[in-house]
């Protein structure tokens, strides 16, 4: 019998399944910032691979959450002209565009499905056999497309 543990045939590869998700992050911002701009909600948009978990600093499975952008919802009756100023200040003081954060798979999987958008990859099966470094490049390329679009 052939020993598959020493060959590439032993590696089971799963095609990535990227999703975008909006997470309400309003509670992480200072009240004075929210009140100044009449902000009702701030949602962070993240991209993650639903098929890939890690156990970084935790015994529980975590998703690597790649920051895409954020969206601000103003309070009812707020002047829409303050929106650009709020975005500028948010970008300047709080933005973490190039960071990857890790969030509990349990937390993410239990967020409302309405807050998700699946990123469709062409020829998904072709991504099941990625070599070293190719997965990371695919993540970067997909993240760049999500930020642009």
Total of domains in the chain: 1
pLDDT reported for residue 44: 85
Range in 47-56, 61-70, 127-136 the model is least confident about: 127-136
Average pLDDT, the chain: 77
Answer yes or no: are the C-beta atoms of 138 and 127 closer than 8 Å.
yes
Q: Is residue 6 part of a domain?
A: no
For 11-64, the pLDDT digits (tens) are 445 677 888 888 888 988 889 989 988 999 998 888 888 888 888 877 889 988
pLDDT band at 67 (very low <50, low <70, confident <90, very high): confident
Distance CA 66, CA 130 (A): 20
For 87-100, the pLDDT digits (tens) are 888 777 666 555 78
Q: Is residue 8 part of a domain?
A: no
Q: Is residue 134 part of a domain?
A: yes
User: What residues make up the domain containing 104?
Assistant: 14-118+129-148
pLDDT band at 132 (very low <50, low <70, confident <90, very high): low
Distance CA 38, CA 77 (A): 9
Q: Is residue 19 part of a domain?
A: yes
Q: Is residue 124 part of a domain?
A: no
Q: Is residue 3 part of a domain?
A: no
The burial class, CB within 10 Å (0-12 / 13-18 / 19+), for 22 is buried
Q: Is residue 101 part of a domain?
A: yes
């Amino acid at each position: 019998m052939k020993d598959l543990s020493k060959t590439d045939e032993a590696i089971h590869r799963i095609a990535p399944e990227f999703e975008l998700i909006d997470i309400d992050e309003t509670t992480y911002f200072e009240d004075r910032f929210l009140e100044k701009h009449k902000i009702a909600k701030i949602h962070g948009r993240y991209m993650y691979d639903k098929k890939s978990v890690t156990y970084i600093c935790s015994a529980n499975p975590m998703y690597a959450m790649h920051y895409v952008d954020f969206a601000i919802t103003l309070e009812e009756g707020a002047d829409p002209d303050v929106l650009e100023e709020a975005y500028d200040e948010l970008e300047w003081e709080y933005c973490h565009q190039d960071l990857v954060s890790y969030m509990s798979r349990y937390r993410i999987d239990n967020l409302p499905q309405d807050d998700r958008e699946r990123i469709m990859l062409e020829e998904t099966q072709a991504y099941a056999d990625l070599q070293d470094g190719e997965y990371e490049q695919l993540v970067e390329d997909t993240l760049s497309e999500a930020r642009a679009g």
